[in-house]
C-alpha cells in the first residue's frame, strides 16, 4: 500500500515568510509525528498527534510553529515569520494504534534565504 | 533526559567485511530500541527493533543487533558488507515510561569500499 507522503519535497522561501508543509499518513494510522532534521543531525521530535488532537507538542521550538490535523488524517505543519535557522528537512511519520513502529515519509527540505 | 550516542559519524568498510555500528543509550529504564537506515533522498526505513524478549534481533538486509543491558548498548552488525549498504544509519529509542516520541542519535554514515 501507499506509504507516508509529504508535499512539497522542496520549499525555498524568504526570511519572514509563512510556509505550510503537508503530510499524508498511511491510511488508518491514528498516530502522526513531525520531526525536524538539521544538517548532520538526527531527527528531533516536534509534535505528536493521536487522532485529531496534539497529544504532545513539547518539541515545538517556539510559538512560530504550529501543526493541525483537523480530520485525524492529513496534517499541516505551519511556520510563521520564517528564520534562516528554520532551514532543515521536516519529516513526518505515522503509526497504527498500539504499535511502536513509525513509518517515515521522504521529508520536505525547507530552505529559508 | 534521554540521549542516544552513536560513536563514529563516518565508518568505512571494504565490501565483504564486517559492519559494526555502535549505539549506546542513557536511561535507567531500558527503552525500546530501533535502527533506521536512510538512503539518499529517501525516508527513514526501519531495519530492526528490540522491545522485549530475545536480546539478539534480526532485521532486513542481513542486519542484526544485540541489546546488552549491562552495557546500555544496541550495536548494529552485518557479517559481510555489500555496496548497497552504503547509507546513513540512525539509532533511536522510545522511553518505555514516557511516551511515543523517538530520540535519535546523530547518525553514522557508512561507506563501502569496493
pLDDT digits (tens, 9 = 90+) for A64-73: 999 999 999 9
Contacts of B46 in chain A (CB under 8 A): 101, 103
Residue B54 sits at φ, ψ, to 5 deg, of -55, 130
Please state whether beta strands B64-68 and B73-78 pair in parallel, antiparallel, or not at all (unpaired): antiparallel
B38/B23 Cα distance (integer angstroms): 16
Cell of A16: 519572514
Q: With beta carbons under 8 A apart, name residues in chain B contacting A106.
A: 41-43
Pick among B2, B91, B99, B100 to test the A interface (most A CBs inside 10 A): B100
**Chain B residues with CB-CB distance to A40 below 8 A:** 9, 106-107
- Mean pLDDT (chain A) is 94
Instruction: Please state, in angstroms and as integers, the Cα–Cα distance from residue B73 to each residue in A85, A99, A111, B35, B93, following that order.
Output: 33, 23, 36, 12, 11
Q: Is B102 on the interface with A (CB under 8 A)?
A: yes
Of A3, A31, A42, the CB nearest to B100: A31
Identify the sign of the CA torsion A58, A17, A89, A10: positive
Going by pLDDT thresholds of 50, 70 and 90, the confidence category of residue B72 is: very high
- Measured in angstroms, the CA of B92 and the nearest CA of chain A are apart by 9
From chain B, the residues in CB contact with A51 under 8 A are none
pLDDT in tens, B13-70: 999 999 999 999 987 777 899 999 999 878 899 999 998 888 999 999 999 999 999 9
Closest chain B residue to A48 measured between Cα atoms? B101
Contact A95 B100 (CB under 8 A): yes
Amino acid at each position: 500500500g501507499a506509504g507516508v507522503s509529504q508535499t512539497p519535497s522542496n520549499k525555498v522561501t524568504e526570511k519572514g515568510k509563512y510556509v505550510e508543509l503537508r503530510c499524508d499518513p498511511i491510511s488508518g494510522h491514528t498516530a502522526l509525528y513531525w520531526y525536524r532534521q538539521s544538517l548532520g543531525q538526527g531527527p528531533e521530535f516536534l509534535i505528536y498527534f493521536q487522532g485529531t488532537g496534539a497529544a504532545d507538542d513539547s518539541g515545538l521550538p517556539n510559538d512560530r510553529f504550529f501543526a493541525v490535523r483537523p480530520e485525524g488524517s492529513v496534517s499541516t505543519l505551519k511556520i510563521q515569520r520564517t528564520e534562516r535557522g528554520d532551514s532543515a528537512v521536516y519529516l513526518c511519520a505515522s503509526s497504527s494504534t498500539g504499535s511502536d513502529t513509525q513509518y517515515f515519509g521522504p521529508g520536505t527540505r525547507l530552505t529559508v534565504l | 533526559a534521554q540521549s542516544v550516542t552513536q560513536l563514529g559519524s563516518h565508518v568505512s568498510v571494504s565490501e565483504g567485511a564486517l559492519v559494526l555500528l555502535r549505539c549506546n543509550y542513557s536511561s535507567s529504564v531500558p527503552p525500546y530500541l530501533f535502527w533506521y537506515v536512510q538512503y539518499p533522498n529517501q525516508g527513514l526505513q526501519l531495519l530492526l527493533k528490540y522491545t522485549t524478549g530475545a536480546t539478539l534481533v534480526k532485521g532486513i538486509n542481513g542486519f542484526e543487533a544485540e541489546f546488552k543491558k549491562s552495557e546500555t548498548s544496541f550495536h548494529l552488525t552485518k557479517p559481510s558488507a555489500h555496496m548497497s549498504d552504503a547509507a546513513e544509519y540512525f539509532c533511536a529509542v522510545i522511553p518505555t515510561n514516557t511516551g511515543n516520541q523517538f530520540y535519535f542519535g546523530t547518525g553514522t554514515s557508512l561507506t563501502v569500499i569496493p
